[in-house]
Amino acid sequence: GDSVTQMEGPVTLSEEAFLTINCTYTATGYPSLFWYVQYPGEGLQLLLKATKADDKGSNKGFEATYRKETTSFHLEKGSVQVSDSAVYFCALSGVGTGRRALTFGSGTRLQVQP
Amino acid sequence: DTAVSQTPKYLVTQMGNDKSIKCEQNLGHDTMYWYKQDSKKFLKIMFSYNNKELIINETVPNRFSPKSPDKAHLNLHINSLELGDSAVYFCASSQNGQGWGTDTQYFGPGTRLTVL
């Protein structure tokens, strides 16, 4: 079945550091890929998405490129802020009848220190 | 105006009780979902409805029963609550037009269920 693997957290960075959170997936066909963010005490918000190979999703300074050859969708940001502290989830949406639900990775907690 | 809302936000109850969580979306979406987030933050799909029809029913104890009175509402009823049911339950919705799986899912704020 479909699966998503994310790097273990927590990730602790200083403000303005470069961020990478690794994400790889296993799926049949051509899934869509998503990054969601969960701020403390809140629900999940879509951060960015990519629906086909080589697409780059971007939002709020975050970027991720859909790499089919390496089955990866790594999240990057050039300069993190304290306000980016949250849990980040990589997810995929499968193709095929009925498989519209998201399969999530285990989440990576990011803590940014001033 | 909240897109996906859930009630209650917090639910504390005793083992063996029956409880319900309600979800409403005002986005005009066709598909709604229930996800469970455990204490380690892992999220897993439980159910999905499309236009009031059940389309995904993962391996969930039959004590959990979803009900969709119309496509804007998806409620979750849980019978005979157990300690292991303690989790955060998220409702979500998506448009699901012709692009299979490409549509963004919008999540509610979650319901934190604590079973004592």
At residue A99, the pLDDT reads 58
Which of B43, B50, B109 is facing A42, going by the closest CB pair? B109
Asked whether the beta carbons of A70 and A22 are under 8 A apart, the reply is no
Kindly state the average pLDDT of the residues B39-46: 91
CA–CA dist A70, B28 (Å, integer): 37
Cβ of B108 under 8 Å from any chain A Cβ?
yes
What's the pLDDT band for A98 if we cut at 50, 70, 90?
low
At residue B99, the pLDDT reads 52
At residue B1, the pLDDT reads 64
* A18 DSSP assignment: -
Which range of A12-16, B54-58, B61-65 scores highest in mean pLDDT? It is A12-16
Q: Is the pLDDT of residue A113 over 70?
A: yes
Asked whether the beta carbons of B24 and B73 are under 8 A apart, the reply is yes
A·B CB contacts under 8 A? 70
Number of Cβ within 10 Å of residue B71's Cβ equals 18
Q: Cβ separation of B41 and A43 shorter than 8 Å? A: no
> Tokens 């005009």, residue?
B28
Tokens of A77: 């940001």
What's the pLDDT band for A5 if we cut at 50, 70, 90?
very high
Q: Which residues of A touch B50 (CB under 8 A)?
A: 100
Q: Which is more confidently placed, B63 or B100? A: B63
Q: Which residues of B touch A35 (CB under 8 A)?
A: none
Asked whether the beta carbons of B113 and B38 are under 8 A apart, the reply is no
